[in-house]
Chain A
Amino acid sequence: MTIINILTVFLVLLGALFSLIAAIGLIRMPDLYTRMQSATKAGTLGVACTAAAAALHFKDTIASMDAIIVVVFFFLTAPVASHLIARASYTSGHRLWSQTIRDDYAESRTSGPDDRPDPEDLSL
Chain B
Amino acid sequence: MIQLVPLDNDPTHWLFLVAGAVFGIALLASVWRLVVGPSLPDRVVAVDLIGFLAVGIICVFSIVTQRSELIGVAVVAALILFLGTAAFAIYLDRRARP
Contact = CB atoms under 8 A, between A and B. Distances in A.
Interface string B58-84: 011011000011011011001100100
Contact of B92 (A50, A69, A82, A85): A85
A92 B94 CA distance: 9
Contacts of A87: 89, 93
Interface residues of B, number: 54
Q: Say what secondary structure dominates the interface of chain B.
A: helix
15 contacts: A5-B12, A15-B19, A15-B59, A16-B20, A16-B56, A16-B60, A19-B22, A19-B56, A23-B53, A26-B33, A63-B71, A66-B75, A77-B78, A81-B85, A85-B92
- 5 interchain residue pairs of minimum CB distance: A92-B96, A63-B68, A84-B89, A23-B26, A23-B29
Interface of A: 1, 5-6, 8-9, 12-13, 15-17, 19-20, 22-24, 26-27, 32, 35-36, 39-40, 43-44, 46-47, 50-51, 53-54, 57-58, 60, 62-63, 66-67, 69-70, 73-74, 77, 80-82, 84-85, 87-89, 91-94, 119
